[in-house]
Amino acid sequence: MKTIVNTNNAPAPIGPYSQAVIAGNLVFISGQVAISPTTGELVLDDIKTETKQVMENIKSILTEAGIDFSNIVKTSIFLKDMQNFAQVNEVYGGYFTDQFPARETIQVSGLPKNVNVEITVTAIKP
């Protein structure tokens, strides 16, 4: 059994996928990019602003699923340029207080809509 999670407080999917799926006690959040849910426009001012929008989109989906950042067990960060790692890490780290999730950061040659960062999340729902 699975439950689809959808909120207007995060951008609508840009393809045939759900914002998140709950399966058992696991919550799988699809890769989020810096699209503003209010305007539908990309937020690409700089890498920190872009990352903050990605994390805010994740936060909205977590909230809709009834959980928060403390429930995340694994993240995957995809970067177009590993030179942005420190700045992305700084913004990303501000959303966690302790018991950080497992994580991987991968440089890729391209991302949807030519963004610079995309983040996926797996969480546990108590």
Across the chain, what does the average pLDDT equal? 97
**Which pLDDT value is given to residue 59?**
98
pTM for this predicted structure: 0.97
Q: Report percent pLDDT > 70 for the chain.
A: 100
Q: Which residues 6+ apart lie within 8 Å of 6 measured at CB?
A: 18, 19, 20, 64
- Provide the Cα torsion 42, 45, 48, 54; round to 10°: -10
Q: What is the mean pLDDT of residues 44-64?
A: 98
